[in-house]
A and B are shown apart, each in its own frame.
Chain A
Amino acid sequence: MEQAAHGRSLFSDALRRLRSNKAALASIGVLGFIVVAAVVGPWLSPHNYFTQDYGAIWIAPTLADAHWLGTDGLGRDLFVRALEGGRISLMIGFVATLVSLIIGVAYGATAGYAGGRVDGVMMRIVDILYAMPFLFFVILLMVFFGRNILLIFVAIGAINWLDMARIVRGQTLALKQQPFIEAARMSGAPAVSIIARHIVPNLLGVVAVYITLTIPQVILFESFLSFLGLGVAEPATSWGALIKDGADEMGRAPWLLIVPAVFLAATLFCFNFIGDGLRDALDPKDR
């Protein structure tokens, strides 16, 4: 009971701080708008994301024919495709980051807190995973599991936790010498609870920042997986795939690059300011 009450006050406290951060609030608004647009936007257009129109190839953004953001090399409407792509990219960014966050924080905090031989072995495993030929990992995933969008998240998350784990471990090494951890240990608290209640909350700042770095990485990385046959399948698309195709055709049809890039950049800015806001709001030292 006491635990739950404490949790609620911590949460409401954080919410109050977050509310006073204008940049974070504005970002939540914009991000919310992008999410809503990605979900309902495609219905506003008379076009769909897969119909090809060979009479309307590479049309610049125009009000005529309702090609508000132009068309691609197959005459497909970019407005709808960019929003459809947004659904996939936001999902990928969110889920993969979550996977990497959970594994990375748990792994890194454990290694750093345990120290000594356990830390040594755990970190050597990370070293090995770093150096593994990642392309073969992806190719094998594709062979054994076929095409499955969930796997993309797993594959990407499974790579990204390595950085997270290293950073978390580094911070933990520094933290565990702090007097308040020392005190908790003296009082006989079990290691798991020390990690969960004292170490992890103190890591959130760095972790929040790192999350805002992981999301763009993940979204762009998806386009590379598409190349290997593990990304989204045509005619479905994603921001990463749109940006990659747009980069190839930017000389002829620059909107194909600019539109998805603006969507991506806007999303990243939002995540960035929300991340900073969260970091400040959750900072245990300010309490």
Chain B
Amino acid sequence: MAACSSEQSDQFPVKSTPEIREDGTTVLRRGNGAEPESLDPHQARSVPASNVLRDLYSGLVQISPGGDIKPADAESWEVGDQELVYTFNLRENLHWSNGEPLTAQDYVYSLRRSVDPVTGSPYAQLHAAIANAKAIIAGDKPPQALGVRAVDDRTLEITLTKPTPYFLGTLAHSISYPVYRPAVEAHGASFSQPGNAVTNGAYKIESWRVNSMIAVERNREYWDDANTSIGRVEFYPITNQNSALSRYQAGELDWATSVPISQYEAIKKYIPAQLHAEPTLGVYYYGLNVKRPPFKDAPELRQALSMAIDRRTIVDKITRGDEIPAHGWIPSVVEGYAGAQFEWVKLSDGEREAKARELYEKAGYSKDNPLKVEIRYNSGEGNKKIASVISSMWRSVLGAEVTLRNQEWKVFLDNVRQGNTEAYRLAWIGDYNDPNTFFELMNSKFGLNGTGYASAEYDRLQEKQAHMPDGPARMKTMKQAEAVLLADSPIIPIYFYVSKYLIKDYVKGFEGNPLDSYYSKDLSIEP
């Protein structure tokens, strides 16, 4: 055990002692937010589960520390037949953690399982680009019909319905990981439990205690084991941000996944080098239900409400976590796309508010006939503050009468889904690094859009860009789609998320990426 203390302060003590076992095994102790709901790659849907799965499994491709797509189980691939057929060449030395060889047939089995209705995979739709996937999810075709074929043990061929520029990105997602067929067939739902689980990633599961800890240990059968440094990773589910910070300060965590906002200033002051703030693919937004009054057929009113919100103030004064004010729908960190912005962004505050009032009046409201609107949000400190601020801005800029209503999460979601809300808060986190993951949400046929927004023009543009090769032409179509969306304003983007991590100095190799995809194997502990 070696102690190394760098930024120390009596006001803000942080113990910096890495855990190194007697045999030299280094241990990385990661805070992991909530308890993962499942470690079946095809069942998982939360960030904490993805964090663990990324260490346990290896897909065809992976995300490099900087956020690029790079080869993993597939050492190379060719794209042919007008971008419809992907041929992956698997590595020679692929093995499961029990020593059995991993072949293209394993991938065929796993991809079929991921879209099989019997599996009930929440992310099945991410594979919609693969031939016949949609029909299989709907139960109209058998899983064997999926456009996936093992040419030989080391060659996998995937056929798409239409060209899809972001397809490779979806293969880094946990829904695309291979699972070990004999374990699935022998143990059913508990195949992911220690003792049952057979995985192919840099680590294998050692123990799992719900609400306490998941421990994974180095998998010597992993194809890139020679470059793995950390011997053991422990994931601690800690939902309380203050507790996570305390345990980080007390030297019980090497990596805390979030920081309490009330301590953010102190952290920036005392331990700036341990703080990593990474813009991510996520937007915090307000949805306006366009199927009901007052927002039905009222684009001016929706624009006025959007315009009346001073996002800079929200970010600087309220959330205080270095979030990025959202003046468009697509986060600025999305690769290869500079999103469109509201036209009024360049106006001064006074001009912006005057313009908002003008639109508000144009929509038929005034001092004597004020808009009455309800903001609904799910309980939570941040949501409460933002709802308070937005109601205050709508009141002071436009004179609207705003009521606030918080609800328990599931009741809230049920209401949004049933369209019982007027204005509500939600967030959208991208699944892969391409604007389409944001555009898709607002398509009326995608089925996840609580505003009820349905624009034929937008749907057409969104579907068109989704199947165009990357380049200026696709860029132009995307800009058109975003312009339509912003003009219609069924959603009011508030800010883009910035992930905040605290990582001890002795953990080396961390590099931020907008997908929040981090692999413990890429890190090392060097006291």
Contact = CB atoms under 8 A, between A and B. Distances in A.
Interface in A233-253: 233-235, 245, 248-253
A272 B139 CA distance: 66
Nearest to A73: B385
A235 B411 contact: no
Interface in A174-220: none
Instruction: Give the contact-size bracket for chain B.
Output: 20 to 34
Interface string A134-177: 00000100110001000000000000000000000000000000
Instruction: Give the contact-size bracket for chain A.
Output: 20 to 34
A243 to B, nearest CB: 13
B389 A52 contact: yes
B318 A73 contact: yes
B262 A251 contact: yes
A15 interface: no
A161 B379 CA distance: 28
Interface in B379-410: 379, 381, 384-385, 387-389, 392, 403-408
A234 B411 contact: no
B343 interface: no
Contacts of A10: none
Interface in A250-285: 250-253
Interface in B221-260: 242, 260
A253 B318 CA distance: 14
A119 B375 CA distance: 49
A248 B242 contact: yes
A233 B405 contact: yes
Interface in B346-393: 379, 381, 384-385, 387-389, 392
B318 A235 contact: no
A74 interface: yes
A227 interface: yes
A252 B385 contact: no
Interface string B412-427: 1000000000000000
A228 interface: yes
A228 B379 contact: yes
Contacts of A233: 403-406
A233 B375 CA distance: 12
A147 B411 contact: no
B381 A245 contact: yes
Contacts of A235: 388, 404
Interface in B297-319: 313, 317-318
Pick from A52, A142, A227, A253 the residue with the most CB of B within 10 Å.
Answer: A52
Contacts of B385: 73-74
B238 to A, nearest CB: 15
B6 interface: no
A229 B406 contact: yes
A139 B408 contact: yes
A248 B408 contact: no
A253 B388 contact: no
A52 B388 contact: yes
A245 B388 CA distance: 14
B151 interface: no
A234 B404 contact: yes
B500 to A, nearest CB: 16
A229 B266 contact: no
B263 A252 contact: yes
Contacts of B404: 233-235
A52 B392 contact: yes
A74 B388 contact: yes
B265 interface: yes
Given A73-B385, A143-B411, A233-B404, A253 B262 contact: yes
6 contacts: A143-B411, A229-B412, A234-B406, A249-B262, A251-B260, A252-B263
Given A57-B317, A248-B381, 8 more contacts: A51-B392, A74-B385, A74-B388, A142-B411, A147-B405, A234-B388, A234-B406, A251-B242
Interface of A: 50-52, 54, 57, 73-74, 139, 142-143, 147, 226-229, 233-235, 245, 248-253
